């Protein structure tokens, strides 16, 4: 599913980070589907402000890429690094992902 991220200094919501090997499908929603999506999103009261950034007009899907959680997902600062309330740095998160992968005997790429 899509989420939100820093895209060149702007917040991008409802779009994927680029992944050339994972083609995206975008489905336009009917008026009834848009109304249902709006009702579902309204159930998440604590996220109401953030969820207003997401379009009600389309749903986007794609296979998940093989992420390497020990590397940044894109150039530049991550969105949560730009937020004042961030409690963990991106390098710390990546170090913890690497430690977890090692402890679980997983490939870091998930």
Residues 57 and 86 occupy one common structural domain: no
pLDDT tens digit sequence for 50-91: 899 999 999 999 999 988 889 998 888 888 888 777 788 889
Residues 61 and 72 occupy one common structural domain: no
**Domain range for 52:** 1-65
> Across all residues in the chain, what is the average pLDDT?
89
Residues 98 and 47 occupy one common structural domain: no
Backbone angles phi, psi at 103, to 5 degrees: -60, -35
Residues 60 and 74 occupy one common structural domain: no
Q: What is the largest CA-CA distance in the chain?
A: 48
* Residue 81 confidence (pLDDT): 82
Residues 58 and 72 occupy one common structural domain: no
Query: How many domains is the chain partitioned into structurally?
Result: 2
Q: In terms of Cα–Cα distance, which of 39, 35, 43, 41 is closest to 1?
A: 41
Residues 100 and 50 occupy one common structural domain: no
Contact 65, 21 (CB under 8 A): yes
- Residue burial 26-43, b: 16+ Cβ < 10 Å; e: rest: eeeeeeeeeeebeeeeee
Residues 51 and 70 occupy one common structural domain: no
The percent of residues in the chain predicted with pLDDT above 90, rounded, is: 47
Residues 52 and 75 occupy one common structural domain: no
């Amino acid at each position: 599913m899509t989420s939100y991220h820093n895209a060149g200094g702007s917040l991008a919501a409802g779009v994927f980070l680029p992944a050339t090997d994972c083609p995206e499908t975008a489905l336009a929603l009917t008026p009834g589907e848009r109304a249902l999506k709006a009702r579902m999103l309204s159930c998440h009261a604590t996220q109401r402000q953030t969820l207003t950034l997401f379009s009600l007009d389309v749903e986007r899907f794609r296979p998940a890429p093989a992420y390497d959680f020990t590397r940044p997902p894109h150039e530049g600062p991550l969105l949560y690094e730009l937020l004042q309330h961030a409690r963990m740095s991106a390098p710390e998160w990546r170090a913890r992902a690497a430690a977890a992968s090692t402890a679980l005997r997983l490939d870091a790429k998930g």
